[in-house]
């Protein structure tokens, strides 16, 4: 086990391999990214809080910086009591797909790939999939 101390707002790319009993190493896994931002999951039936969206935006900015890109932060209303809109989720999905492509990582797929403003209900799975794309 390798443990590396990390500071807040850090993004790392990693791949893993296993070492067999005879000392031979397996092939590396597909690379992925991880951030040191705390992005808790949202449970079905519970509200998504403004701080959770803000933490997600911070993680996106950190991943973009890791990729050598600047994320023009989507203009999302993250004030207490504001609603999470379909357009907000779509902006973040587009950002996740873009940055993962830039890093040569697998592009995420999303539940309910088309979200229609004013019609689609934003669910916990939508938030959790975005979290998983950058964490």
Does residue 49 sit within a domain?
yes
Q: Can you give the pLDDT at residue 61?
A: 79
**Which residues make Cβ contacts (< 8 Å) with residue 91, sequence separation at least 6?**
74, 76
Q: Can you give the pLDDT at residue 3?
A: 44
Q: Quick one: DSSP state of residue 117?
A: T
Where is pLDDT greater, at 29 or 111? 111
Say if residues 95 and 74 touch (Cβ distance below 8 Å). yes
d(Cα 11, Cα 22) in Å, to the nearest integer? 33
Does residue 31 sit within a domain?
no
pLDDT band at 129 (very low <50, low <70, confident <90, very high): very high
Q: Can you give the pLDDT at residue 110?
A: 95
d(Cα 68, Cα 51) in Å, to the nearest integer? 26
Number of domains in the chain: 1
**Domain limits for position 86:** 39-134
DSSP string covering 58-105, please?
A: HHHHHHHHHTT----------STTPPPPHHHHHHHHHHHHHHHHHTTP
The pTM score is 0.70
Does residue 50 sit within a domain?
yes
Q: Can you give the pLDDT at residue 118?
A: 86
d(Cα 68, Cα 100) in Å, to the nearest integer? 12
Over 8-49, what HEC string results? CCCEEEECCCCECCCCCECCCCCCEEEECCCCCCCCCCCCCC
Q: Can you give the pLDDT at residue 102?
A: 82
Does residue 30 sit within a domain?
no
Does residue 73 sit within a domain?
yes
Does residue 26 sit within a domain?
no
Q: Compute φ and ψ for 88, nearest 5 degrees.
A: -65, -45
Q: Can you give the pLDDT at residue 113?
A: 92
Q: Can you give the pLDDT at residue 111?
A: 93
Per-residue pLDDT tens digits for 2-47: 444 455 556 666 567 788 888 888 876 766 666 655 667 778 888 7
Does residue 80 sit within a domain?
yes
Q: Can you give the pLDDT at residue 74?
A: 58
Does residue 29 sit within a domain?
no
Per-residue pLDDT tens digits for 63-92: 777 777 766 655 666 676 777 788 888 888
Where is pLDDT greater, at 1 or 22? 22
């Amino acid at each position: 086990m390798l443990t590396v101390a990390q500071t807040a707002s850090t993004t790392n790319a990693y791949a893993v391999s296993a070492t067999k009993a005879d000392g031979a190493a397996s092939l590396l896994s597909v690379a992925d990214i991880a951030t040191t931002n705390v992005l808790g999951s949202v449970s079905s039936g519970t509200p998504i809080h403004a701080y959770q969206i803000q933490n997600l935006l911070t993680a996106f900015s950190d991943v973009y910086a890791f990729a050598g890109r600047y994320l023009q932060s989507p203009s999302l209303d993250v004030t207490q009591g504001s609603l999470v809109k379909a357009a907000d989720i779509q902006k973040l999905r587009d950002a996740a797909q873009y940055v993962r492509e830039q890093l040569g990582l697998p592009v995420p797929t999303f539940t309910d790939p088309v979200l229609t403003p004013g019609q689609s209900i934003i669910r916990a799975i939508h938030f959790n999939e975005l979290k998983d794309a950058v964490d």
